[in-house]
Amino acid sequence: MHVTADAVVCAVLAHGEHGAVVRAMTPMDGLLAGYVPGGRSRRMRPVLQPGNLVRAEFRARTEAQLAVLSVELIHSRAPLLGEPLAAAAIDWVTALTAAALPEGQPYPEVHSGLDGMLAAIEAAPSARAWAAALVRYELLLLSALGFGLDLSGCAAGGAGELAYVSPKSAAAVSREMGQAYAARLLPLPAFLLDGSQADWTGIEAGLRLAGHFLGRDILTDRRADVLAARERLVERLRRITG
């Protein structure tokens, strides 16, 4: 196996005395893991930061063997790590990507979404400008793994505005049909339907919606540990919204 690609560093795990196992998201080969000799050295630690863009070369004699990985830094997002909200967002989206995706499977739309999400965090003057993108990225990843929402129409056969999502079927329900059961349904924010600008109420609803299905369908068992990163981020977002 020999893959060379620009990749986003998603997870770094110490391995041996000086090395590190790195999981990085590539455009066409998906999430790949590789061993970086000296990955914990003073020189390599700033390069192997989650969120950084690197030129990665994976080499292995067989596909079953852990590849040896060499990396060169293309773009560092280390300056963002001094900002608590931005750092928490990068920590979460990279941890989610590394935990949720199977290795070696192409997910070009997820790579594009992750790259766009990180660029939004970097460019936005405030969290409100990237928080809606975060919800969209979480839902994109769910969809890519076969757990997407069904927003094609009302699951109960009603007409009119879609306003809820069933927590069991992940299908949308109209306001008319769901109003009597609103306490048992998940609110569906309008920005996910019409692409409008999201306010904090809509963002909070979107985070609740995506979080329900992430916890139920993907981040289970040993992968549930990464939800702690999401909880830290959501708590920090709540503080700035009052």
pLDDT at 241: 74
Task: Enter the DSSP assignment of 22.
Answer: E
Distance CA 159, CA 7 (A): 44
Residues 6+ apart with CB under 8 A from 179: none
pLDDT, tens digit, 9 for 90 and up, residues 198-208: 999 999 999 99
More confident residue, 164 or 196: 164
**Residue of 42, 40, 47, 41 whose CA lies nearest to 24:** 47
| CA distances from residue 160 to 96, 156, 198 in whole angstroms, order as listed | 35, 12, 21
Mean pLDDT of 142-166: 93
Residues 6+ apart with CB under 8 A from 28: 5, 106, 108
Q: Does the CA dihedral 25-26-27-31 come out positive or negative?
A: negative
Distance CA 99, CA 185 (A): 27
The DSSP bridge pattern shows strands 67-75 and 30-36 to be parallel
pLDDT, tens digit, 9 for 90 and up, residues 131-145: 999 999 999 999 999
pLDDT, tens digit, 9 for 90 and up, residues 85-127: 999 999 999 999 999 999 999 999 999 999 999 999 999 768 8
Is the pLDDT at 240 greater than 90? The verdict is no
Is the pLDDT at 63 greater than 80? The verdict is no
In total, the chain counts a number of residues equal to 242
Could you tell me where in the chain the CATH 2.40.50.140 domains are found?
A: 2-76
Distance CA 162, CA 187 (A): 9
Task: List the CATH code of the domain at 2-76.
Answer: 2.40.50.140
Buried b (16+ CB within 10 A) or exposed e, 196-234: eebebebbbbbbebbbebbeeebbeeeeeebbebbeebb
Is the pLDDT at 25 greater than 70? The verdict is yes
pLDDT, tens digit, 9 for 90 and up, residues 177-223: 999 999 999 999 999 998 888 999 999 999 999 999 999 999 998 88
Distance CA 116, CA 118 (A): 5
Mean pLDDT of 163-170: 97
For the beta sheet containing 162-165, the strands, ordered from the edge strand earlier in sequence to the opposite edge, are: 172-174, 162-165, 186-187
Mean pLDDT of 137-161: 93
